Structure 1
């Protein structure tokens, strides 16, 4: 079995982590040997190795730690094994019976207190779970107790288990010295600190017993919403937990903030708040459907959906509002012309291409339900004419992911990703590699290709002598972290659990938008300047943003996805991967965005010819095709897409209000868009 395969089985990243795993195993294997010999110093060394390596692996290789847990080799069990072995050592070294009995009693008491602490901690955490979480509403009137101090609340098991160290160290010191005072001192310290921790947490439990009831929480949130009176809602539920999955919401925030209507954002998963961008818009996260029905949304006329998810039905049942699918990108994938979209009142697309795409879904979507609104979020993308080339052509490779099924698998990573990067490196270009956030979630082959590409780029950076860039990167890191911390603060990513987030929620100062933009611009400037003009970059986090990667690139290589449609806005040359080697005419007829693209075959034989498009003298025969395609895919430049989006929202809101007024005049009732007024029992079903 190769080292790479062994790393995969053990879920570690490389040879260094594999060595740590072997050290951990060797340390635990040595404990009974040294205990039975007995060898005090050998046991002390092996015990120290197991403590230290265990701790390091929790930080470096969490996947391996989880693998141990699935084999029932949990952290408490590993600590228990170490405890049994130290008692065996003491017995073999003829420690007095009273010392052994005291040690057994202390270690037993420590584990019993740890169980009690865990039970109280779980009780505290359960009581602090509220039915919803909000941001940008003033919740200071709700009596939510502060979260317990981090020293008591976060990673508590890790801290409790390590409280056995004084007892272990004291017993080993006593065995070495032949006097038992150090053992009793260690025992007293272990028990004393553990008891103090349990008592402190019990005090915190008394405080959380005064948590507000569910009805109080909803009454206060609805009071705040009634004062704000939201008119348009962005509703989002994600299909898979991922650090960057919230881009589907974040891309629409600035657009929502510019609407004439008052917006609100409704989320369905608690994890969403961790990755939500900065906004002054009120945000409400309601995990349960029956709780969603309790929200006061009677003024909401339009609901926008950036994704198709099963939980959308909980909001679609609100008949008083108009429901619009806006998507999270305009691509030639099935998701961008799904028959499921028929459930919405309208479908907003970027340009004529989106309308035509839906028209190909015969007998499903009415043409009158499709509205062309452009892509307002593309304004940060610089045009080709504004781009200043560097010493090397910059190629952005941004493959899509493997999809939920093979039918929707458009990624080039599996069939051609690695050879593509190898040939790019042979062409002496600078590569920016930005894989989809969900890459490797379904396919082990995609994950392996992604890893191989990163390794190729790392190795090539070393050959290029990027030592100066590495130094610059290290020097800039503190400033980037400082900026990121401030961005997180502006985004409302405060420390603490959900209850603490709700407790600290306030109406934000809208002036923070200027500081947010300035800090993001500074972050990107520092990031790209310190990377130098020749170093390859692997982009895995939210920053640098996709559009900033667009601005750095001379040419894009990507798959059928919304990334390509957005890149069209720059008018720069781009390449679509044709991994199935379809005839060019068939490929262009199937995929709209191929109309202005260079097509790359599976073996990448066309790559040198394509790269000539970005090398002097810039012979680029696709220039006119891209200009034509831009308007077809993204709509006209005038009126602006923001103006068209805003007009579409206003028109639909007026239509919803008119229809409601007509129903009321006919005696149909005045039920608002809140679940309580429109059938809470039905929503909860």
Structure 2
């Protein structure tokens, strides 16, 4: 409540000044004009703050003092000022009253019409990369202009303030008529524009009919597989891990997204992307041709598709790592869990979470095809020159995000990040690339704040050091690096495909040997303990002797499995094998 009081105080002061001007209008008109203008400016300041603080706006609405009420009250006070100043001029008072009523009613009408248009356009389904015949969707009419409609209506009110105070300051009364005309034109223009847009929206295909037409289009497409994506937060990388691979498989795949905020974050120009927000519409739109569904995330809304019969449900995750969340009891509800190699199979067995061995299928990591393989890192020429600077060796620091639970905390951002980067930046000839996890700070803002600070640190070091932006994929950064520094996560598993050396952070109390036993993905890594200052020695060993080369090769085979077969072909074959193993008769909808 204390955070609301200053804003409420500013708004209250504005109203008090407006009211104070009324008794002055008859005896001291110029002073009344000054006080009323000052009160209007104070009110505008308060409204600007309210727009920036959604919680305050909600609180005012709850107290019955929303924007419409506040605007109406200001209109009444302005009308009162006109009565006090021009009470002997009945025509002027009526003109002001009618105009203010028009402004207030226009604000209400605009809000109702815009809300109606949005409601008719807010379909429970949407799609792209797919033709859905018969659906009529009229694009919004001048959305940018209508989006500013309430501000224009507010400007009409300000015009009336100017029109009323000008005569109080010995100006012509004609200013009132001019202001009324301007306010009237603005109000009528926006109400008519909103009305036309609302009528266009009402001509769109009704929601239920749209769902049926989408279902018909998907039935005609006859997809074999669904990629089911649902997340409570707006984030796309979990789905995008799989998009390039799914675009390559020789079968029809549809991406089914559950939240409208996540649909635009799924990056594919070829796969049909369908958004279905209502649980009851899932069974309406999923065609009987679907035999298998892939799930990259363990979320409660998976149940909306899992309950449908006739579909083989497969958990594919969005990375292979030794994190605690990589082998959970939630995986039991799926028919299969597709994993990279023997390490993941052992992970489920050791965790003893109820996932049977026959539920686990090793498919490799088909996404890793774009990672460049290096057979002999010591024989590589690591020197680089981009015309702006030179370097002899490149180190990529790609830490993971904060954990969801304390026991799943693997991020080195707070414990080692700063010392680690400062040490690397001080090593002569070493170029540093910094690419933090895109979700860092989602659950703990302290991690996000520290990432921003570390970005500033790398940026201040100047060229050739670089903060790798979201526009560059992780695997592209892998290909530019000679050594990786990361935390326990799927990042190190994927980097193993490159054959290059890597460092895994460890800020716990156990020894490096015990850490490698606990986390098999670190078996072939340099283990960075303490505050991270030992990183320079690991860089030197990797450049000069690569003492962990043989162990790294064994670790790669254990985590990624057999890499002799084409990874995409192996992934594609897994579809048929899973359906053959677990497939059930299709139940007609």
User: Structure 1 length as normaliser, TM-score?
Assistant: 0.72
1:259 corresponds to 2:249: yes
**Aligned match for 1:66, one of 54, 59, 65:** 54
Contact 2:135-2:205 within 8 A present in 1 as well? yes
Cα distance in 1 for partners of 2:541, 2:12 equals 60
1:671 corresponds to 2:587: yes
- Residue 121 of structure 2: aligned partner: 128
**Aligned match for 2:362, one of 372, 375, 379:** 372
**Aligned match for 1:567, one of 495, 500, 503:** 495
Q: Which runs of 5+ in 1 are unaligned?
A: 1-8, 11-21, 465-532, 661-669, 678-685
1:622 corresponds to 2:552: no
Contact 1:396-1:550 within 8 A present in 2 as well? yes
- Residue 209 of structure 1: aligned partner: 202
Contact 1:24-1:49 within 8 A present in 2 as well? no
RMSD: 3.8
Cα distance in 1 for partners of 2:35, 2:306 equals 67
Cα distance in 2 for partners of 1:379, 1:620 equals 24
- Residue 637 of structure 1: aligned partner: 563
Cα distance in 2 for partners of 1:107, 1:550 equals 64
- Residue 241 of structure 1: aligned partner: 233
Cα distance in 2 for partners of 1:172, 1:548 equals 65
- Aligned 1:47-86 pairs, distance under 5 A: 64-69=52-57, 72=60, 76=67, 80=71, 83=74
Q: Secondary structure at the match of 2:53?
A: helix
1:272-312 CA-to-partner distances (Å, cap 9, x unmatched) read 22212123222221112211111242111111111111111
**CA 1:656–1:367 in 2, change beyond 3 Å: closer, same or farther?**
closer
- Residue 276 of structure 2: aligned partner: 286
1:137 corresponds to 2:141: no
Cα distance in 1 for partners of 2:83, 2:412 equals 63
Report the alpha carbon displacement of residue 169 of structure 1 after superposing the two structures with TM: 4.5
Aligned length: 562
Report the alpha carbon displacement of residue 175 of structure 1 after superposing the two structures with TM: 5.2
Cα distance in 1 for partners of 2:368, 2:77 equals 64
**CA 1:155–1:407 in 2, change beyond 3 Å: closer, same or farther?**
farther
- Residue 476 of structure 2: aligned partner: 548
- Aligned 1:176-255 pairs, distance under 5 A: 178-238=171-231, 240-242=232-234, 245-255=235-245
**CA 1:49–1:436 in 2, change beyond 3 Å: closer, same or farther?**
farther
**Aligned match for 2:140, one of 131, 140, 147:** 147
1:417 corresponds to 2:417: yes
- Residue 594 of structure 1: aligned partner: 522
Report the alpha carbon displacement of residue 538 of structure 1 after superposing the two structures with TM: 5.8
1:432 corresponds to 2:433: yes
Report the alpha carbon displacement of residue 23 of structure 1 after superposing the two structures with TM: 13
Contact 1:86-1:168 within 8 A present in 2 as well? no
**Aligned match for 2:285, one of 288, 295, 298:** 295
Residue range with higher mean Cα deviation, 176-185 or 125-134: 176-185
1:422-456 CA-to-partner distances (Å, cap 9, x unmatched) read 44444465443333233222224323323432443
Q: Which runs of 5+ in 2 are unaligned?
A: 22-29, 385-389
1:236-268 CA-to-partner distances (Å, cap 9, x unmatched) read 111x323xx222222212222222322111111
User: Structure 2 length as normaliser, TM-score?
Assistant: 0.83
**CA 1:314–1:88 in 2, change beyond 3 Å: closer, same or farther?**
closer
1:323-357 CA-to-partner distances (Å, cap 9, x unmatched) read 11111000111221112111111111111211111
1:536 corresponds to 2:466: yes
Cα distance in 2 for partners of 1:280, 1:621 equals 45
**CA 1:546–1:187 in 2, change beyond 3 Å: closer, same or farther?**
farther
Cα distance in 1 for partners of 2:146, 2:466 equals 41
Cα distance in 2 for partners of 1:90, 1:612 equals 81
Cα distance in 2 for partners of 1:580, 1:338 equals 23
Report the alpha carbon displacement of residue 645 of structure 1 after superposing the two structures with TM: 0.6
1:437-494 CA-to-partner distances (Å, cap 9, x unmatched) read 3322222432332343244345x24xx5xxxxxxxxxxxxxxxxxxxxxxxxxxxxxx
**Structure with the greater alpha carbon radius of gyration:** 2
Cα distance in 2 for partners of 1:387, 1:161 equals 66
- Residue 24 of structure 2: aligned partner: none
Cα distance in 1 for partners of 2:249, 2:383 equals 36
